Amino acid sequence: MTQKTDFGFQQVPVEEKVRRVANVFNSVADKYDIMNDLMSLGLHRLWKRATVMFSDVYSGQRVLDLAGGTGDLASLMARRVGGSGLVVLGDINAAMLRKGRSRLVDEGFVTNIQYVQMDAEQLPFPDNWFDCICIGFGLRNVTRKERALASMQRVLRPGGRVLILEFSKPAIPAIRPLYDAYSFRVLPWLGELVADDPDSYRYLAESIRMHPDQEALRAMMNDAGFVRCTYHNFTGGIVALHRGYKL
């Protein structure tokens, strides 16, 4: 029997989701940064700075920015680890990885960032390798999230931490209708106006609704072997930052 999973609100074969998600990000890569600014009214930059602050990363450490896309978190982390540290910007999508590399090279990051095309479910690194792993707005696009979490746990060193920044469930009931209207009407309209691609942004809105909420994701992290798992809501729970540690 063919195994199925969610692609937005649809149920599709696992292999089909991988292909469709790749098509989405191939399509949005060129407009990804400007759309992030428009969709979040610039708030994504504050959420990402807060993620780096919560990471406790310092000079000389090794950081994996997983599903790192165009490199927002990688550039912030590279400043923290300095010339003696290393940031690996990893993404399954070649188009996004190229955009990230081009942007970071233009910003002057040459010696302490590496770029690797990789599958989050099968990270190509030794056990106990990274001091910190961060993934910003990427986990919901992973087909088998439990495999990705287990893979992160494997390559994280004892005492290391994982940070998952992701859209979540608004904690204030009164804002949910407004959030739904914005997600399903405004986002596809922006996608059509700016990126000429309303369908990709409709999928991204749907994928947010299918992603585990705050407590469900914390339980998944515990199941993967992380300890002291907590989360912090941003902007009323529209976004949540989960943090966990490896013993």
Residue 110 has a pLDDT of 87
Burial of 222 (0-12, 13-18, 19+ CB in 10 A): middle
Q: Is the pLDDT of residue 197 over 80?
A: yes
- State the Cα–Cα distance between residues 98 and 115, nearest whole angstrom: 9
Domain count, the chain: 1
Q: What percent of the chain has pLDDT over 90?
A: 87
Q: What is the mean pLDDT of the chain?
A: 95
pLDDT tens across 114-131, in order? Answer: 999 999 999 999 999 999
- State the Cα–Cα distance between residues 4 and 210, nearest whole angstrom: 14
Residue 43 has a pLDDT of 96
If pLDDT is split at 50, 70 and 90, which confidence band does 1 have? low
* CATH code for the domain in which residue 171 is found: 3.40.50.150
pLDDT tens across 3-50, in order? Answer: 889 999 999 998 899 899 988 898 888 888 998 999 999 999 999 999
- What mean pLDDT do residues 210-229 have? 97
Sequence-ordered list of residues with C-beta below 8 angstroms from that of 149, at least 6 positions apart, any chain: 220, 221, 223, 224, 226
- What mean pLDDT do residues 102-122 have? 95
- State the Cα–Cα distance between residues 104 and 225, nearest whole angstrom: 33
Residue 3 has a pLDDT of 84
- What mean pLDDT do residues 140-147 have? 96
Residues of the domain holding 64: 4-245
